[in-house]
């Protein structure tokens, strides 16, 4: 047996590592590092800080949905689900799309169930993009986007979103498209900025995608978590239906992020291409959770309105504390997240402050530059993201702690 080969130089970063710099995946020596989320969580644990970094709720979803999962387990729903998802959930997803948006996907051929929205995004990008192609996103972008685009070998092109409203410049958007733009990956409502894009912006994306022959993959996991504005699914816009894949999940809507149940809808030919890739990723997952979410999607309208109203109150609790701390607060129109500018406190390095904040006041956050490529990181250098999807009492305590920040800098 041969001894291990010693390397005189470190392994070069793989393409996905180089592309995902924004997610802080590289260690200083060029090897694999930890994500910023793991780093901030570790600091929160070490200091006893309230962790407002990673966006997961600290309360479980509706009891009746959890009980439905237990019942499914007891009834024997513990083996592989069909690769495209159990029929009951595919039918429930189709009914949800018609009920809320007037869309009518065929549950047999135009709906598949995925292991969270993340798998749906990964399978879509791997299905449609490859070396020589370009994938267009807004920037900042959700951290997995850069990594998966890197896995495809495509080039990641971005359009900046600037504070305070985080809307794209439409001329910059048009300039970012080219005949190599194979996929437009659009997150709306948008993580990490909390922006909800109006119909005019979305229609411009649709028109440019049609002009350049691009496929639109739209990540709409926060569709039911908007504040005072309506969510507009891209697939409902003129010219979008034939080239748009729509992705969502149960995690955010039902506060069941650990179940990892997502779904994807769109034209039969595009969905079939994604399913071909998906079968070699997880094939299927979460059989008893799928049947429970099928029941959950049938909740009355009051439930869906109520979760947004409750979350809006939590947003306001945390935002008040952030203003008291001296930050410039950018009020989000959706999602779990509020962004702030640290510059009014004389701080221009949000990453440095994020690393000090748990010890300073006992609150952890995520620096927005980690959601960007280097140029975008410089533009967003002073921005921090806080999650408000926590219990009201936790947010009140975090707000009180943050209010002491100015006296501790």
Q: What is the CATH number of the domain that holds 114?
A: 3.40.640.10
Q: What is the CATH number of the domain that holds 42?
A: 3.90.1150.10
Residues 48 and 74 in one domain: no
Residue written as tokens 């990594």?
A: 147
**Is residue 264 in a domain?**
yes
pLDDT at 177 over 90: yes
Residues 82 and 231 in one domain: yes
- Binning pLDDT at 50, 70 and 90, where does residue 409 land? confident
Residues 126 and 230 in one domain: yes
Residues 357 and 400 in one domain: yes
- Could you tell me which residue, 228 or 14, shows the higher pLDDT? 228
Q: How far apart are CA 328 and CA 342, in angstroms?
A: 7
DSSP 8-state secondary structure symbol assigned to residue 334: B
Residues 252 and 385 in one domain: no
pLDDT at 8 over 60: no
- Could you tell me which residue, 139 or 55, shows the higher pLDDT? 139
Q: Each residue of 62-83: pLDDT tens digit? A: 999 999 999 999 999 999 999 9
Q: What was the pLDDT predicted at 33?
A: 58
Report which of 51, 135, 1, 155 is spatially closest to residue 365, judged by C-alpha positions: 51
Domain finish residue from 281, 296, 311: 296
If you average pLDDT over every residue of the chain, what do you get?
92
In which domain, by residue range, is 43 found?
Answer: 34-60+303-407
Q: How far apart are CA 268 and CA 37, in angstroms?
A: 37
Count of structural domains within the chain = 2
Q: Each residue of 12-54: pLDDT tens digit? A: 344 434 444 444 443 433 344 568 888 999 999 999 999 999 8
Domain finish residue from 296, 331, 355: 296
pLDDT at 147 over 60: yes
**Is residue 255 in a domain?**
yes
Q: Each residue of 201-218: pLDDT tens digit? A: 999 999 999 999 999 999
pLDDT at 258 over 60: yes
Residues 164 and 282 in one domain: yes
């Amino acid at each position: 047996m041969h001894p291990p080969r010693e390397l005189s130089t470190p392994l070069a970063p793989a393409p996905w590592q180089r592309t995902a710099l924004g997610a802080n995946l590289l260690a200083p020596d060029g090897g694999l590092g930890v994500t910023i989320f793991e780093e901030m969580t570790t600091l929160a644990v070490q200091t006893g800080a309230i962790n407002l970094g990673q966006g997961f709720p600290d309360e479980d979803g509706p009891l009746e949905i959890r009980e439905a999962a237990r019942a499914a387990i007891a009834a024997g729903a513990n083996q592989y689900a069909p690769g495209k998802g159990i029929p009951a959930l595919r039918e429930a997803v189709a009914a949800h799309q018609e009920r809320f948006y007037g869309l009518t996907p065929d549950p047999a051929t135009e709906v598949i169930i995925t292991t969270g929205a993340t798998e749906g995004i990964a399978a879509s990008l791997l299905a449609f993009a490859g070396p020589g192609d370009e994938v267009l996103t807004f920037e900042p972008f959700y951290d997995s986007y850069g990594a998966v685009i890197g896995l495809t070998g495509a080039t990641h092109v971005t359009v900046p979103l600037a504070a305070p409203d985080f809307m794209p410049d439409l001329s910059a958007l048009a300039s970012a498209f080219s005949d190599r733009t194979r996929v437009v990956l659009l997150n709306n409502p948008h993580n990490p900025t909390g922006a909800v894009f109006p119909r005019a912006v979305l229609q411009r994306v649709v028109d440019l995608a049609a002009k350049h022959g691009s496929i639109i993959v739209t990540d709409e996991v926060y569709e039911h978590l908007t504040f005072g504005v309506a969510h507009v699914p891209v697939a409902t816009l003129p010219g979008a239906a034939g080239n748009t894949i729509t992705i969502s999940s149960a995690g955010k809507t039902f506060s069941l992020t650990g179940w990892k149940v997502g779904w994807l809808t769109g034209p039969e030919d595009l969905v079939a291409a994604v399913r071909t890739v998906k079968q070699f990723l997880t094939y299927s997952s979460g059989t008893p959770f799928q049947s429970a979410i099928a029941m959950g999607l049938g909740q009355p309208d009051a439930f869906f309105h109520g979760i947004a109203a409750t979350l809006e109150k939590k947003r306001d609790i945390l935002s008040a504390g952030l203003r008291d701390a001296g930050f410039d607060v950018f009020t989000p129109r959706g999602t779990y997240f509020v962004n702030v500018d640290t510059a009014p406190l004389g701080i221009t390095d949000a990453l440095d402050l994020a690393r000090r904040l748990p010890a300073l006041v006992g609150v952890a956050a995520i620096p927005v530059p980690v959601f960007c490529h280097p140029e975008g990181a410089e533009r967003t250098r002073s921005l921090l993201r806080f999650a408000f999807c926590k219990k009201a009492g936790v947010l009140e305590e975090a707000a009180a702690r943050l209010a002491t920040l100015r006296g501790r800098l």
